[in-house]
Amino acid sequence: MDALVKVIGIDVSKAKLDCWALPAQEAWGIDNDDGGIAALLTQLRTRAPELVVLEATGGYETQAATALAAAGWRVAVVNPRQVRRFAQALNRLAKTDRIDAQVLAEFGRAVNPQVRPLPDAQTQELAALVVRRNQLVQMRTQEKNRLPMTLPPLRPRVKEHVAFLDAAIARLEIDLTAKLRSSEVWCERRDLLLDVPGVEPILTCTLLAQLPELGQLNRQRIAALVGIAPFHDDSGKHQGRRTTWGGRREVRTVLYMATLAARIHNPVIRAFYQRLRGNGKTYKVAMVACMRKLLTILNSMIKHGHAWHYEIKIA
């Protein structure tokens, strides 16, 4: 991106938005609420940026990013780890909200991150339900792990809490199903995905809510986005082991559980797993490869709009 292109970096916190504009080198801060965001939109009309860059901050950026995108600005919500490494490469070791906003603006100008459409209100609600279900499942797992070490007088209370969490998770799953049925587009995609042996409703909800790029990218990029693509580690004559890292952990966790079922019930995944194990691949390597193959199949189905069949085209 040309150095003269106008970029605004916005460091987001719960209460405040710290902004930095390039090339004007202007800094200002506003409240992260309806009034502050309305004021930000007014300020941007006078500055006319070509790109606005925000960090993903666990949801605090959603309201501002959605408002900016709705107003017609090009908005990129970027990975905080990538931005921090960019700052370290520039030897920017100090960290304040204003410095972070400046680094975000410089990152946007140097890297020109990809601008993707932000999820609509329905997708945001679905994603919130999926996230909440994951939180409750984690809480239930923690309680079950504590149970064997809990003193006998307290075990009934732990069991009572587990039962409460079971009921809360069941109610959320009903809400997720109802949310999927409320959209014709989601219904069509849901029916395509659920037709695949091993794919169950929770994976379907997770993919639709937390992987909106499904069907829009090729198999290499969609696997890298989830964090199941093998990366090279070679230098000179050294050839290191291929490893996977990064990606969307929540999607990867649910995909792994679905692959366990697909390894038994899906003829394509079952044959693929058996062939890998027969060739001496370890369990972990074979499972990650099966996760990647299952995701590739689902990506191709959504991309081309075709139903499940054994000899499926992969693209």
> In 170-258, which ranges are E strands?
234-235, 238-239
- Residue 62 confidence (pLDDT): 85
- Residue 8 confidence (pLDDT): 94
pTM over 0.75: no
* Angstrom distance (rounded) from CA 78 to CA 55: 5
Q: Are 310 and 266 in contact (CB under 8 A)?
A: no
DSSP string over 259-313: HHHHHHH-HHHHHHHHHHHHTT--HHHHHHHHHHHHHHHHHHHHHHTPPP-SS--
- Residue 260 confidence (pLDDT): 95
* Packed helices 267-278 and 283-304: angle between N→C axes, nearest 10 degrees: 150
- Residue 2 confidence (pLDDT): 52
State the residue for tokens 């009034």.
35
Instruction: Encode burial over 201-232: b for 16+ CB neighbours within 10 A, e otherwise.
Output: ebbbbbbbbbbbbbbeeebeebbbbbbbbbee
- Residue 235 confidence (pLDDT): 66
- Residue 187 confidence (pLDDT): 82
- Residue 88 confidence (pLDDT): 92
Find all residues with CB under 8 Å of 43, minimum gap 6, and list them.
19, 28
Tell me the pLDDT of the chain (315 aa) as tens digits.
555 579 999 999 999 999 999 888 989 999 999 999 999 999 998 888 999 999 888 788 888 998 898 888 899 999 888 899 999 998 888 889 999 999 999 999 999 888 877 777 778 888 888 889 999 999 999 999 999 999 999 999 999 999 999 999 999 988 888 887 777 767 888 888 989 999 988 899 999 888 888 998 899 999 998 999 887 666 666 566 777 777 888 899 999 999 999 999 999 999 999 999 999 999 999 999 999 999 999 999 999 888 887 655 454
DSSP character at residue 198? T
* Angstrom distance (rounded) from CA 250 to CA 277: 26
- Residue 234 confidence (pLDDT): 62
SS3 for 216? coil
Tokens representing 257 are 């559980």
